[in-house]
């Protein structure tokens, strides 16, 4: 995994230098050894969204850097002489339009009644790492108009969720492992060179597990051997195979995946 080079691309034009040896890493252990060597500016502030597997995975990697976690309140109201980050859940950056309150059940059922307060964090952060789940109809985390305001401070966006033209408005296309970053011009709303003073550096690689192929294959294989193989050759009391099978032995869609029939028939 060429993780250090990718980080270099992210920060090179944003005055965030990594004093590490830029090299391709053979596996996660080697990658982690280089992350420990990274040096971030003393006033660097990063915000992370998402408390699911993706968000907690990103947090696990962030914690390998020389950076301190701080509360949401401290992040918004204080300055620091060391690199810091804060980790947000959905209720930290959304509020009800009518009264400023929040109910998770209400938010999921009627997301149109809410608006994002993420720009408050964008005014303080240098970098944003997006690992959230976003549902159709929910407010965008930030819009293209948000990025045009004088208060906007974020210059690097790592969009792990990678919803194109969605809640992270600077993600206008996916990027690739070979060419992981591109510039988003916050005024023209177009892709631009990273050296442009109005550029936001965007990393939106949509197949990031491929960056660690040895580790990903090993972990995936272990799950197959430990969890799936016994169900294939023996008892399957929880119907794991049935629930995961898209088609029957006859080649028809299984009941669980029957909603795909219009797609199979070429109607959509």
In tens, the pLDDT along 23-60 reads 577 888 888 888 888 888 889 999 999 998 888 988 99
Range in 72-76, 94-98, 186-190, 251-255 the model is least confident about: 251-255
Residue linked to tokens 């390998």: 64
- Angle between helix axes 28-35 and 3-12 (nearest 10 degrees) is 40
- Do 217 and 188 belong together in one domain? no
Residue that is written with structure tokens 């401070």 in the block: 153
Same domain, 250 and 198: no
* Number of domains making up the chain: 2
Whether 143 and 259 map to the same domain: the answer is no
> pLDDT category, 118, cuts 50, 70, 90?
very high
CA distance 204 to 162: 6
pTM over 0.85? The answer is: no
203/217 same-domain check: no
Angle 145-148-151 from CA coordinates, rounded to 5°? 110
**Based on the domain organization, do 130 and 192 belong to the same domain?**
yes
Q: What residue spans of the chain are helical by DSSP H?
A: 3-12, 28-35, 53-62, 72-77, 104-109, 119-122, 144-147, 213-223, 229-233, 240-244, 261-264
CA geometry: angle 76, 81, 85, nearest 5 deg: 45
Range of the domain at 107: 3-211
């Amino acid at each position: 995994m060429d993780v250090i080079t990718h980080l270099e691309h992210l920060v090179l034009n944003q005055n965030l230098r990594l004093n590490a040896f830029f090299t391709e890493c053979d596996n996660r252990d080697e990658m982690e050894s280089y992350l420990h060597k990274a040096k971030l500016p003393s006033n660097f502030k990063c915000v992370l969204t998402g408390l699911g597997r993706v968000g907690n995975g990103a947090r696990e990697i962030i914690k390998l850097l020389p950076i301190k976690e701080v509360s949401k309140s401290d992040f918004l109201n204080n300055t620091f002489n060391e690199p810091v980050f804060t980790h947000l859940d959905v209720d930290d950056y959304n509020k009800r339009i009518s009264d400023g309150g929040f109910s998770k059940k209400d938010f999921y059922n009627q997301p149109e009644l809410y608006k994002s307060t993420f720009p408050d964090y964008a005014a303080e952060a240098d970098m944003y790492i997006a690992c959230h789940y976003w549902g159709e109809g929910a407010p965008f985390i930030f819009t293209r108009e948000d990025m045009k305001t004088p208060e906007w401070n974020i210059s690097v966006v790592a969009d792990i969720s990678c919803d194109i033209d969605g809640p992270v408005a600077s993600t206008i296309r996916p990027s690739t492992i070979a060419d992981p970053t591109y510039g988003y011009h916050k005024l023209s709303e177009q892709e631009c060179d990273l050296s442009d003073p109005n550029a936001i550096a965007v990393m939106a690689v949509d197949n990031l597990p491929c960056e660690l192929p040895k580790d990903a294959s090993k972990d995936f294989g272990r799950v197959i051997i430990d969890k799936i193989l016994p169900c294939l050759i023996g008892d399957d009391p929880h119907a794991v195979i049935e629930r995961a099978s898209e088609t029957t032995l006859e080649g028809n869609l299984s009941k669980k995946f029957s909603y795909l029939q219009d797609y199979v028939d070429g109607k959509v």
